[in-house]
Amino acid sequence: MIRKWFIPAVALAVLFSVAPVWAAKSVTALPDAALVIQHPKESGEDSGHMHHKGKMTRKDFEAYRLEKLKEIATYFGIQTDGKTAEQLKKEVEAAKLANKDKWEAFKAEHQAKRLEHLRKIAEEHGIKTEGKTSEQLREELYLLHGGKGKRPHRLEDHDRSADDDDKQKDKQNQA
């Protein structure tokens, strides 16, 4: 009977003798209270969580999105004064669905602006721009600045989404 309880009793004795050592280590691992008071951690909203490869904070990104929404809203003739981002977003989505031709014209206008901007930058870097698309110009600029080419997983995602869209269109045409 003593043999039966001997191993568990020794294990408990070892566990209780080591417990104060673990507790002491965990106390020393905690930060000093004076340092925490001097440099408090920022909350989730105030933290500088970076977007877009570390160039924009959350606040900057939200402001950027709001400006883009306002730009689209003014193009569609929607009043932007006194509205939240959510209200603007809903109204812009409704306007996009109602005026598909106007939305396509807006997108084409902005793609043309993007192409012109890329051409200007490419010319500054000595790249010929005649007959090149914005994707070709962007790729050449990327390679010029030490890029490693397109990442294969990005291409796979893009191709996969295009295939999914084609399958959905085929299903809609069959129905």
Return the domain boundaries, the chain: 51-98, 100-148
Token output for 45: 């909203």
pLDDT recorded at residue 32: 55
Q: What's the number of CA atoms in the CB half-sphere (13 Å) around residue 22? A: 6
Question: What whole-number distance in Å separates Cα of residue 116 and Cα of residue 2?
Answer: 89
Chain length of the chain: 175
pLDDT in tens, 65-109: 999 999 999 999 999 888 888 999 999 999 999 999 999 999 999
Confirm if 106 and 72 have CB atoms less than 8 A apart. Answer: yes
39 has a pLDDT exceeding 50: no
CA torsion sign, 103 to 108 to 114 to 120?
negative
To the question of pTM greater than 0.75 for the whole model, the response is no
Higher-scoring residue by pLDDT: 164, 141: 141
